[in-house]
Every structure is written in structure tokens, then in C-alpha cells.
Amino acid sequence: MVRASRNSTNLECAHAKRSMSAITFTARLVIATQAALCCTTIFSPAFSAQSATAGTAAPLELKRPASVRPWQRYKVDSQGSSWPQTRWSNFSNLANAGVSPPAHAAPAFNLPVEGDAERGRTLAYDRARGGSCVVCHVMGKTTPAQPGNVGPDLSTVGATRDDQSLFNYVYDPRIYNANSIMPPWGAYGVYRLDEVRDIVAFLKTLKEPYAIADKTENPNTRPAPVESRDNLDPTENPAMFGLDSGREVFMRKGANGKSCASCHAAPETAFKTWAARMPRYEPRLQRVLGVEEFITRHGRATTADEMLMQSNDNIAMSIYLHNLANGAAISPELSGAGARAALANGQSLMKRKVGQLNMACVDCHTRERHANKWVRGQYLVESKGTTAHFPTWRTSRGDIWDIRKRFQWCNVSVRADELPPDAKQYGDIELALAALNKGEKINSPGIRH
Amino acid sequence: MHQIRRRLLKAIGGVIPLAAAAGAGLLRAGNALATTWNKTGFEAKAAADALKSLGVTGAQPSKDIMLTTPDIAENGAQVPVTVTSKLPNTQSISIIVEKNPFPLSSTYDFSSGADGYVSTKLKLGQTSNVIAVVKADGKFFTATKEVKVTIGGCGG
């Protein structure tokens, strides 16, 4: 017999094992909590089609956008996590290249650089301003918790660099290193000139090496996170509720009285590998079509149901269809001129520097650049091995995201304006990622930070 | 196990108001389910006061308590914590999160020879020591572990 008293301020969910009485009670707690987490996220509408085998041209509505227009950035996720609302139209994004200003020298400044070192320290350590310096650098004995290691340790930078190079580097590092991942803090206006001076004044004080003894604090010894949760356990992964909703949407009659099941009587067989072969180049749209956009367009053409991308119904269907392909190896169709051009464009977009922080996908997510390093306490993963779990529950956001929403968030994180989920550019990148992840086994819905 | 859980979930899936009540702190699980609701303990704002409310004096660290947590929690909103007590006659397990606004997170009373095992998920406001307090054979024992809560990078 086990009795539990729990502090509601700490309550997430609980399961005690090895005691039947405990399971009954705690299971209820788990369910209640998880239901609360999910009830606003996913609910069910319907659609139908022909065969899901390759080669047949599935009916698709081709004219209208597949997502909300005019597109407006999310204000909050379903559980209230906020999205930044700043517009960054004066910087390049995935739709517009060449908007961001090129590298340029700092305006004339006096030497030696004088500023308020204490204010500089605060700026360097403050998370609120573009993540701050500590996101990528260890910076002397007063370095706050969990520094990153994308950039070099700056603990002795004040002893090795002169004022001029320090100022220029903070203002626009591209003066010295054209392909630097470091944002042009001054040139792109994250910090004002007086703030750059303060930061330089602080950097000049850094003269003593700093060895971080704590293994988990030191970014060079901190163990990489390992994902070991059972993503198909509904007590672990709230996105599993989406699977049930998706099945219901599949069975539900649309506006014309038909359901998906009207044409796809045996979804378990019909969709065994379908999602693993997506996204694919669609000649009728002349661009790449992912699972979610397919759901919208195929639904319109068959059951007359409207399931806009990133709507609850659409995500639920996406989870259901991905889940039916669990275990199937990602195998996108890459032959054909259309697919090849899309793939090449996707790969090229992943190298484009975007946003006020001036970063490209490859800067953070390839091992040739900075993958497998730390930005503060977060680990930068490689693009390979990171797509097979979508749609995925994001524990840090309390929401289920399809892969396009993940792209949108990446864009916003580097302070670039995101695109609508059905943007051609996202399709091209999704295809490039599928090519990179070829052979990985679909395992959806996922659960990630 | 998976199927059983799914059926359970389906069976009780409609009880959303219960969840809302629990989330809002309206559902005092303790009133209904525990012998005594440790009001002082759950409202204590310091770990020492929470310990005092449990009647803990001179608790000794014990190697027979296994406190399993991640070294670094990716997300402080749901940190998995497991406590296994191998102490004979384990009567209760309490979990304290030192730096939380209300450090005492939960108390589990064991009787009828139930195994001293609890697995739960806790909210951690920041990097903190987590303390498992086990009462066994009338005496208190502890196990302590620091859990770092991940600090985000540029975005998330």
C-alpha cells in the first residue's frame, strides 16, 4: 500500500511501480496531468484518396495556399510558450538573399578603447541580448553556469589581443574571418557602439586562464545528451494523444460524406512506408510536397475537408501517417530533374547566412562547422539523425511541432523572419534533410527538448 | 504494459477537469488520499523548514538509498526522479528540491511491506540539490544529488 502526498506546485506526473495500489492512484495522476497537457493541443475533422503506392497521381487541390494567409508569426505555442515578435526584414532570410549588409569596418574609434568593464561583463553574461557571449565562450573566473564552446575560450583574450582587434572583432568578426559563425554584434545593431566599447573594456580584463574543474560545467567535458525516453509510451510522450486524434480524423466523414477510410480501407498496409518516402517533388506544384502539405491538398480534393498546415487536425493526421511508417527507412525519391534541382537548392539554402545573428543551418548543424558543441547548456546536433521523429513533442515548448514549425523556430532563433509552412524553400530544405537522413528509421511521434 | 496504459488512458481520458483542478492546486490529493496532509511541510519555503515538518533530526546519508536523476536536466519543467530504498521497513519517501519556492515536492507513505520505490517527474525552477528523505524503522536517512537545469542558447 502506498499513499502519496504531492505538492501541487511541483506536480508534473508520477508513477510508482511494484505496488498495484500505487499504480492505480499514480496512473490516474499521470493521465490527468498528461490530459491537461494535451487537451488544448490536439483535437480532431476527414478526407479520402486513392492508393498510397508510388506512381499513382493522388488527387490534390493545387491552387490555394496550404497554410494561413496572410502568414503571421505565432505569438504563443498551444501551452503558452512565447515567440519573439520582432520583424527582421532588413536581414536576409530563406526567401530573400542579399538583404543583410556585407561585412564592413567599424566606424572610427579612439584608442585605447575605454568603456565600463562592469557593464561590459553584464552584457557579455546576459542571456537576453542575442544569447550573449557566454553562449559560445568561456570568459574567465566569473563565467556564469554552463558556458558554451562554439567559440574559443576567451579567459586570456585581454593578454593576447590589442584594443583595435578586440573592437573590430566584436563589431564585425567577418573583417578577420569571412565565414565566422559569430554574429556581427555591432554592425548588425545587436549592441550599440558604446556597448561594444564596454564589452571590449571587459575583455581587456580577461588575463588569467580558467580551468573549469566541474566535468558537467566544462563544455569540453560535458557529456552529450542521450535521448533514451520511450517516445511511444503515452505516459512519457503527450504527442501520443495526437496518434489517437489522427486515427479519428482518418475515420471521420468530411464535408462530402467521405472519409479517408472510404478509399484507404487498410491504412496499416497502405501507409507502411508512405511517410518514409516523403517529402517528394510534385510536378503539378513544381515544388517539394511534404506529408503535412499533402494532407491539406489531398483532403481538399477528396473529402472536402480543410486541414490547414499546422492545424490540430493536420498535425494529428501527420502523426498518424508517420506512425504507420514507423520502422521504415527514410528513402526520398531523388531522381528526376525537378527533385535534383530542389535538392540542390535545399543544400544551398542550408548554407545561406540569415537573420540578425547571421547564421546558416550548416554553421550549427554540421560537424565540419560547429555541430556537437554547446551553446550555453544546449547541444548542437548534426542534421543527420534529427528528422525521423517528427512530428515531435517539444518538452521545452509544451507543444507538438511538425518539421516546418521547427524550421520556423530555427529561423526566428537566429532572428530571421520565418516563412509560411508551405514555403517552397522549406520544402527544398526538407528534401535535403531527407536525403541526408536516408536510411534512418521513422520513429514518430518523437519527444525532444 | 504499453497496451494497458493506453487502455487506462482511454478509459480515464475524459477526466480533464480533474487535471485542471490538480494543476490549479485545487485538488488536494493529500486530503483525499494521504492519512495526513503535511500543510506546514508543503507550504514551507526553506528546505530546512520542510525537513523539520517531516520530523527529521540528525538524518544520516545512506548508501541504501538510490536517487536517480539526470546530471543535467534538459528541461526543468519535467525532471525524472527515481528513489529506491533498500532500507528494511521503509515507511516513507519524501523528495525535497532545495531551491524550489516550495522545496517539499512530495511524500509517499509505504505500508503493508510495499517496496520503497518511487518514480516521478518534478519541476525544478533552477539548478538545485534534490534530497530524498527516507524514513525506515523510525529513523531518517537521506541521499542528495545536484541536478543542473539546462540554460538555453540563442533560442531553444
Query: Which residues of chain A make contact with B150, given a CB cutoff of 8 A?
Result: 146, 377-378, 449
Q: What is the mean pLDDT of residues A308-328?
A: 98
* Strand, helix or coil for residue A312: helix
* Strand, helix or coil for residue B70: coil
Residues B97 and B113 placed together within one structural domain of the fold:
yes
Query: Which residues of chain B make contact with A138, given a CB cutoff of 8 A?
Result: none
B68 touches chain A (CB under 8 A): no
Residue B18, domain member (yes or no): yes
Residue A54 — very low, low, confident or very high, per pLDDT cuts 50/70/90? very low
A137 CB contacts (<8 Å, ≥6 apart)?
A147, A148, A149, A151, A152, A153, A154
B116 near B85, Cβ under 8 Å?
Answer: yes
Q: Is the predicted pLDDT of residue A47 greater than 70, yes or no?
A: no
Residue B125, domain member (yes or no): yes
Residues B14 and B50 placed together within one structural domain of the fold:
no
Q: How far is B28 from chain A (nearest CA, A)?
A: 8
Nearest to A398 by CA among B25, B156, B15, B12: B156
Alpha carbon distance A265, A255 (integer Å)? 19
Question: Which of B 4-23 lie inside 8 A of A, CB atoms?
Answer: 5-6, 8-10, 12-13, 15-16, 18-20, 22-23
Least CB–CB distance from B72: residue in A5, A216, A414: A216
pTM for the model stands at 0.84
A and B: number of Cβ contacts within 8 A = 207
Least CB–CB distance from B153: residue in A17, A131, A397: A131
Residues B69 and B140 placed together within one structural domain of the fold:
yes
pLDDT at B27: 42
What are the Cα distances from residue A29, in Å, to A26, A319, A372, B20, B148? Answer: 5, 25, 37, 11, 26
Which residues are A359's β-sheet partners?
A: A354
- Residue B12 to residue A31, Cβ atoms within 8 A: yes
pLDDT at B135: 95
Pairing outcome for strands B90-97 and B104-110: antiparallel
Give the CA-trace dihedral at A93, A98, A99, A104, to 10 degrees.
Answer: 120
Residue B95, domain member (yes or no): yes
Alpha carbon distance A442, B139 (integer Å)? 51
Residues B7 and B61 placed together within one structural domain of the fold:
no
- Split into its structural domains, chain B has a count of 2
What are the Cα distances from residue A295, in Å, to A61, A272, A273, A278, A354? Answer: 10, 16, 16, 12, 30
Q: How far is B66 from chain A (nearest CA, A)?
A: 15
Residues B82 and B50 placed together within one structural domain of the fold:
yes
- pLDDT tens string, chain B, 156 residues long: the values are 344 444 444 444 433 333 333 333 444 444 445 557 899 999 999 999 999 999 888 889 999 999 999 999 988 888 999 999 999 999 999 999 999 999 999 999 998 778 999 999 999 989 999 999 999 999 999 999 999 999 887 764
Residue A137 — very low, low, confident or very high, per pLDDT cuts 50/70/90? very high
Q: Is the predicted pLDDT of residue A446 greater than 70, yes or no?
A: yes
Query: What is the average pLDDT score of chain A?
Result: 89
Residue B59, domain member (yes or no): yes
pLDDT at A136: 96
Least CB–CB distance from B16: residue in A36, A232, A413: A36
Q: B110: domain CATH number?
A: 2.60.40.2470
Least CB–CB distance from A9: residue in B2, B102, B155: B102
Alpha carbon distance B44, A238 (integer Å)? 31
pLDDT at B57: 82
Residue B92, domain member (yes or no): yes
Q: Is the predicted pLDDT of residue A161 greater than 70, yes or no?
A: yes
Alpha carbon distance B39, B53 (integer Å)? 9
pLDDT at B18: 37
A1-42 pLDDT per residue, tens: 677 777 754 434 444 333 333 333 333 333 334 433 333 333
Site of grid cell 521497513: B89
Residue scoring higher pLDDT (A130 or A134):
A134
Least CB–CB distance from B8: residue in A31, A145, A233: A31
pLDDT at B115: 92
Query: Which residues of chain A make contact with B114, given a CB cutoff of 8 A?
Result: 1-2, 18-19, 21-22
Question: Which of B 85-114 lie inside 8 A of A, CB atoms?
Answer: 97, 100-102, 104-112, 114
Residue B27, domain member (yes or no): yes
- Residue B108 to residue A146, Cβ atoms within 8 A: no
pLDDT at A226: 87
A287 near A424, Cβ under 8 Å?
Answer: yes
The cell numbers describing A341, all together, are 534541382
Q: What is the mean pLDDT of residues A371-393?
A: 94
Q: How far is A271 from chain B (nearest CA, A)?
A: 22
Assembly ipTM: 0.73
Residues B88 and B13 placed together within one structural domain of the fold:
no
B18 near A32, Cβ under 8 Å?
Answer: yes
Residues B79 and B116 placed together within one structural domain of the fold:
yes
What are the Cα distances from residue A304, in Å, to A65, A233, A285, B104? Answer: 15, 33, 19, 54
Residue B155, domain member (yes or no): no
B134 touches chain A (CB under 8 A): no
Residues B79 and B19 placed together within one structural domain of the fold:
no
pLDDT at A144: 93
Q: Is the predicted pLDDT of residue A338 greater than 50, yes or no?
A: yes
The cell numbers describing B129, all together, are 540539490
Query: Which residues of chain A make contact with B112, given a CB cutoff of 8 A?
Result: 1
Residues B43 and B74 placed together within one structural domain of the fold:
yes
Element (H, E) at B49: helix B47-53
A433 near A342, Cβ under 8 Å?
Answer: no
Residue A56 — very low, low, confident or very high, per pLDDT cuts 50/70/90? low
A350 CB contacts (<8 Å, ≥6 apart)?
A360, A361, A362, A383, A429, A432
Residue B156, domain member (yes or no): no
pLDDT at A197: 96
Percent of chain A with pLDDT over 70: 88
Residues B24 and B86 placed together within one structural domain of the fold:
no
Q: Is the predicted pLDDT of residue A53 greater than 60, yes or no?
A: no
Q: Is the predicted pLDDT of residue A296 greater than 50, yes or no?
A: yes
A210-258 pLDDT per residue, tens: 999 999 999 999 999 888 889 999 989 999 999 999 999 999 999 999 9
Least CB–CB distance from B29: residue in A6, A135, A223: A6
Least CB–CB distance from B16: residue in A39, A148, A396: A39
Q: How far is B60 from chain A (nearest CA, A)?
A: 23
Residues B139 and B97 placed together within one structural domain of the fold:
yes
- Residue B12 to residue A378, Cβ atoms within 8 A: no
User: Helix %, strand %, coil % for chain B, to 5?
Assistant: 25, 35, 40
B117 near A17, Cβ under 8 Å?
Answer: yes
User: Helix %, strand %, coil % for chain A, to 5?
Assistant: 35, 10, 60
* Strand, helix or coil for residue A54: coil
Q: What is the mean pLDDT of residues A371-386?
A: 93
Q: Is the predicted pLDDT of residue A48 greater than 80, yes or no?
A: no
Residues B51 and B100 placed together within one structural domain of the fold:
yes
Element (H, E) at B148: strand B139-149
DSSP type of residue A441: B
- Residue B5 to residue A13, Cβ atoms within 8 A: no
Residue B54 sits in which domain range?
Answer: 38-149
